Amino acid sequence: MGLVDRNLFANYTPIADVGVDHRYVNGVILDAHGNRLEFPLLFVANVALRDYLMELLAMRQNPPTLFGYPQSYILSLPWNPDVVLTAVPEAKRRYDQATMTLRTVQSNWRADGSITGARLRGNVPGVTGYGTTATRFSAGPFVNPNEAINSSGNLPDALQMEGKLWFTARLPYSMQGGILYTHTIGERFTPSFQVEGRYVYRYHSPTRAVTLIPDRLFRHSFGQSVLIEPRGSRHYASRALVDAHLEWRSPRRAVLTIDLFNAFGENELVGIKTTVEDQFQSDPTTLFGAPRLRVAPRTLRVGLRLD
């Protein structure tokens, strides 16, 4: 279930080859590869495009074409949003998982091992479809066509591969201990750009002539995020963690436990800044790829339990 504009494709018009720039400094808005940010196409609301053409005509400007479209075509564009809450047949999520486990139990020790491969594909990253692409609340890709760009692919929150090995043993002096080794591969993320009025948008015609696109043409899209690359095109580096557990049981009811998490002090990234913004600021934390979250640091926990 979700919000759907039943006239979505009739209400918006694509503009091809749109470049994005800072309002005051050119060449500081870069994509995830460090090149100037350009989109093969972005959608604008027909009502905004039509009003802009009428404004040009009122000022006695008579462009033969506007962003590649003739006047007659723009003046005939409809604008009739029909947003309803309904089943969304275009919404897809498919999860596949394969797991292999191996266990052995001996008199003084036991071991468990598992390898899990998983794949989550579709065009709805969250169960509800909201709040998982844009940083602001949005009605979703079935109401906002820009959010549907590159929306299908490998979704986040599904590891490509995860392996675990857990070994425990009885030790002298009423102690027992264990070691857990975890190795993960392939957590996905996708670079995105948030449409805002503080940017400058330019149309690059087939002849490479550049025309300014007024930001008010995107006013129906402000706050929406556009995926710059196919969803799930990138993934975090693999990481390996080792945790240890030791406990001592007294002859009565007390149990002393010691846990060491992330024993080797790994610090791999598990979260980065995935949005692309202007590079005008000198603050490196605003850049694409800036660290946002790392694995939990080495932690020692001591506890006492009464059974």
Q: Does 123 or 157 have the greater pLDDT score?
A: 123
Tell me the C-alpha distance between 46 and 217, whole Å.
9
pLDDT digits (tens, 9 = 90+) for 59-72: 988 888 899 999 99
For the record, the structure tokens of 168 come out as 């425990």
What digits encode the pLDDT tens for the residues 72-130? 999 999 999 999 999 988 899 899 999 999 999 999 999 999 999 999 999 887 665 45
Residues 122, 228, 40, 74, CA torsion sign: positive
pTM passes above 0.85: no
Alpha carbons 13 and 65: distance in angstroms, whole number: 14
Q: How far is CA 180 from CA 112, 163, 225, 297, in A?
A: 9, 11, 39, 16
For residue 49, give the H/E element and its range: helix 46-58
- Structural element, H or E, at residue 161: strand 161-171
Q: What is the pLDDT of residue 208?
A: 74
